[in-house]
Chain A
Amino acid sequence: MYATATVHFKQSVDENALIAKLATPIALPIAIGATIFATMPTPLATALTATAIYAHVGPSSVFLLMKPGDKQLQIHLECVLTPESILELKHELSRMLLNLADAAEASSQAIDNVEVMIFTHDATRIASGRYQPFAEIIGTRFRDTIIGDVLLAVVPAATSLAMNVEPEKAAITFGTTAIAVLLWLCIEARRRQKVLVYEYS
């Protein structure tokens, strides 16, 4: 089982600046030797060695980075300790993408979106996922919790009115609660932007 991820950047990606922020690389032939490519035909391994721009071998996973386009990076990831565990692979993929996103941020490069796919060894796709855009997270979250959000703003305002507090104070209570809810939504959406959402698995 292995995972691939395509990371789309907003601008042309400076791979050297990005790699400088990642963990110390491992020599490509060593990393490739620990992957499914080790048993593949020689031309493929040779082409891969020429194409890959970074490799890392961790305690439980091996990771290759390629640059297929000006604004794209492609990742190949395998778990070497538990090669058939999809949970472990998803976990490693999330962790590695977070590292990459942090490296991109540290080198002032903006990631537009990330799409991932998980395959069995015979290249059958068994899961696919992506990072959700900010607007989509806000939209989904808003639709899911609109009733609760409205109640959160309306109930204190209605209570203020019922308790014979001035309408101005009730309006201020409603307004400030609404702003707090909106801020909360934005903070949460920002955090969830770096969470992989699997569309089917």
Chain B
Amino acid sequence: MNTPNFEVQFITRLRDHIVSKYPELSFSVSRTPQQPDVVIENTRTGTALGVEVKGGNSANPVPPATIAVLIELSAAMKDRYPHSRRIELWVVSTGKVLPPWADILANEQIRVINADSVDDALGKLDSRLRALAAGD
């Protein structure tokens, strides 16, 4: 599957999904590389969910340099918010994250969603969004 516009399609659909289903959550798109593509927050609880989207051909595994950047992104996101707040980074990727890199991301508590399509990614992220809206 070749998805050159996966990032744009997913972020647009995610925004619409949150606006229609979870109005209590705030949605913002990052304009700086030091932040994930999207930050979703429950302003009542202070929990923030960063979503970084990595599109591309699903036959190509995620390169190690991207893994390194994700780790840096997670650290930058944690630095940016007060330590009292719960911060999570989720990565939505069309390419596979191979075992050595998946283990490193898991150790950094970065969650990875491997998706075939925009609908698939939204479906997999929805349970976390529901929990976030409920205050978890």
Contacts and interface: CB of A to CB of B under 8 A. Distances in A.
| Residue of A43, A123, A199 with most partner-chain B CB within 10 A | A123
B43 to A, nearest CB: 27
B107 to A, nearest CB: 7
Given A6-B61, A74-B63, A128-B56, A47 B68 contact: no
A132 interface: no
Given A4-B63, A122-B33, A199-B4, A44 B68 contact: yes
Interface residues of A, number: 32
A10 interface: no
Contacts of A76: 63-65
A95 to B, nearest CB: 20
B97 to A, nearest CB: 10
A37 B4 contact: no
Interface in A42-77: 43-44, 47-48, 50-51, 66, 68-69, 72, 74, 76
Interface residues of B, number: 26
A112 B67 CA distance: 26
Interface of B: 4, 33-34, 54-57, 59-61, 63-72, 98, 100-101, 103-104, 107
Interface of A: 2, 4, 6, 8, 36-37, 40-41, 43-44, 47-48, 50-51, 66, 68-69, 72, 74, 76, 115, 117, 119-125, 128, 199-200
